[in-house]
Amino acid sequence: MNPPVVLTIAGSDSSGGAGIAADLATFAAAGTHGTLAVSAVTAQNTVGVQEVYPMSAELVAQQLDSLLNDLPVAAVKTGMLANRSIISTVGEYAAAGKLPNLVVDPVVVSSTGHRLLDTGAEALYLELLQHSQVATPNRREAQLLCDVGALYSLEALGKICGGWLVITGESTGIDRIFHDGTWTQLAGREIETANDHGTGCTFSAVVAANLAHGIEPLEAIVKAKEFVHWRIVRSANWDLGQGSGPVAHLLD
């Protein structure tokens, strides 16, 4: 039996905590085969981001063509897309129906506070979000998207999203889900740890992996939160690097 194939379109984090490395480890842990299109390379560690070098939008498109023309991709997640031209290129593939079960994590700022998206490029996400099955902004990203879209409320953002909007970290450990005009609160348990680098990437990656397994969106989201919770618990006392360390993507 073949494993489901999942695709991440995201940046590389040299520390291995976030971005493509986190996504691929998570895809493997979730029983899927991971494929990738690199949007940018970052020089980064647990303390901060030292350099960001975006790929050309043409190279992102070539990576997408190569794998989509060959492999049976069942779900896709986007992470860091770096700039306008890459977001709009990915948007064209989504609009053409080439990115099934699309999970959009609209990454704007790294956990250490470094911008991972060109200033002013947020507005282009509003187009891409229309094609998403699940969108996973954190509280700050959701507010930024409302601001650039002149959206007066998070409900208005939810209506723009094609499917399910999950706002992560609404307050400690709690996520809020908007779908079909209704909010659902997803309670979490607080974990005392400095090691939360890349948790947003891991969450959106496992949502995509769950969708690739044929799990319905709400269950895919609920299971993903549980998945991330246990990984944070496992690595809570790790002491890797001087800043925010990674989570245990593979558990053991």
Tell me which stretch binds ligand PXL (CB under 6 A): 8-16, 26-34, 117-125, 170-178: 8-16
Token reading at 229: 């919770």
Q: Which of 16, 188, 198, 245 binds ligand PXL (CB under 6 A)?
A: 198
Binding to ligand PXL by residue 13, rule CB under 6 A? yes
Q: Is 136 among the residues that bind ligand PXL (CB under 6 A)?
A: no
Among 4, 11, 137, 158, binds ligand PXL (CB under 6 A): 11
Catalogue the long-range contacts made by 63-69 (C-beta closer than 8 Å, 24 or more residues apart): 63/36, 63/37, 63/38, 64/9, 64/37, 64/90, 64/93, 64/98, 67/7, 67/35, 67/37, 68/7, 68/93, 68/98
Q: Is 188 in the site for ligand PXL (CB under 6 A)?
A: no
> Considering the complex, what minimum distance in angstroms separates the CB of residue 84 from ligand PXL?
17
Q: What per-residue string of b and e applies to 198-221 under the rule 16 or more CB within 10 Å gives b?
A: bbbbbbbbbbbbbbbbebebeebb
Q: CB of 48: closest distance to ligand PXL in angstroms?
A: 9
Chain residues that interact with ligand PXL, rule: CB under 6 A? 10-11, 13, 18-19, 42, 44, 79-80, 107, 110-111, 116, 198, 200-201
